[in-house]
């Protein structure tokens, strides 16, 4: 009985003895493979822990970038509203300026904007004598581009009136494009 207890103790405590016995009964190779699998599992677990830590850092960075993008979006929205309001203010001021200039020449005409499928005209007004078409915002180059666009609009001849000369007399209506050298003057 003592031998049996010693044999069991050695199997529990002595790894080399255990493999030797297992080899005799054909299990040594299986146990060695299981040990290698266990080591690989440990390595994979350590790698998984490392990747999880990296994932946490990446998520924190992503959340920081997301917060920055949200703040930028809020600022952009405020800027868009400001630009839109300024554009509307400039267009309204231009309409008021044109109306006042015409009134000083003794011409009463309501000036407003006109939206057509082909274009938006910022300054538009017509009465029995004249038709006013203009651009109330943008750079000078953009104004001439829009004038080219206005000349292409499919307007009926009765929609256009003669431009006013400096003396206040009517001239034959002609739409010109191509820049200031060809432009009609009010």
Tens digit of pLDDT for each residue in 23-77?
778 777 787 889 999 999 999 999 999 999 999 999 999 999 999 999 999 999 9
If DSSP states are collapsed to H, E and C, what string results for 32-72?
HHHHHHHHHHHHHHHHHHHHHHHHHHHHHHHHHHHHHHHHH
Q: Helix, strand, or coil here: 178? A: coil
Domain boundaries in the chain?
14-86, 87-182
Look at residue 175 in the predicted model and tell me its pLDDT: 33
Look at residue 23 in the predicted model and tell me its pLDDT: 78
Tell me the sheet residues that pair with 115: 120
**Chain position carrying tokens 């910022």:** 122
**In which region does residue 74 sit, left (phi positive, over 0), alpha (psi from -120 to 50) or beta (all else)?**
alpha
**Cα(176)–Cα(64) distance, rounded to whole angstroms?**
55
Look at residue 146 in the predicted model and tell me its pLDDT: 52
- Angle between helical axes of 28-104 and 15-24 (0-180°, round to 10): 110
Look at residue 154 in the predicted model and tell me its pLDDT: 52
Label the pairing between strands 131-134 and 112-115: unpaired
pLDDT less than 70: residues of the chain = 1, 136-186
Q: Helix, strand, or coil here: 166? A: coil
Assess contact for 110 and 120: CB atoms under 8 A.
Answer: no
* Sheet order of strands, 120-126 included: 112-115, 120-126, 131-134
- 177 CB-contact burial (10 Å; exposed 0-12 / middle 13-18 / buried 19+): middle
**Cα(119)–Cα(115) distance, rounded to whole angstroms?**
6
Look at residue 20 in the predicted model and tell me its pLDDT: 84
- Angle between helical axes of 15-24 and 2-13 (0-180°, round to 10): 110
- The DSSP string of 90-135 is HHHHHHHHHHHHHHHTT-----EEEE-SS-EEEEEEE-SS-EEEE-
């Amino acid at each position: 009985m003592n031998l049996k207890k010693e044999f069991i103790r050695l199997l529990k405590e002595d790894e080399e003895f255990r493999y030797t016995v297992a080899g005799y009964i054909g299990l040594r190779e299986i146990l060695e493979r299981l040990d290698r699998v266990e080591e690989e599992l440990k390595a994979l677990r350590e790698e998984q822990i490392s990747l999880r830590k990296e994932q946490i850092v990446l998520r924190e960075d992503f959340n920081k970038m997301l917060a920055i993008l949200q703040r930028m979006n809020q600022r952009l929205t405020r800027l868009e509203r400001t630009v839109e309001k300024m554009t509307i203010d400039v267009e309204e001021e231009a309409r008021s300026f044109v109306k006042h200039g015409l009134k000083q020449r003794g011409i009463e005409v309501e000036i407003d904007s006109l939206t057509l499928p082909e274009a938006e005209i910022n300054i538009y007004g017509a009465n029995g004598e004249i038709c006013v078409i203009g651009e109330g915002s943008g750079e000078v180059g953009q104004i001439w581009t829009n004038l080219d666009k206005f000349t292409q609009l499919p307007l009926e001849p009765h929609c256009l009136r003669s431009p006013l000369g400096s003396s206040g007399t009517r001239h034959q209506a002609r739409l010109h494009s191509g820049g200031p050298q060809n432009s009609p003057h009010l």
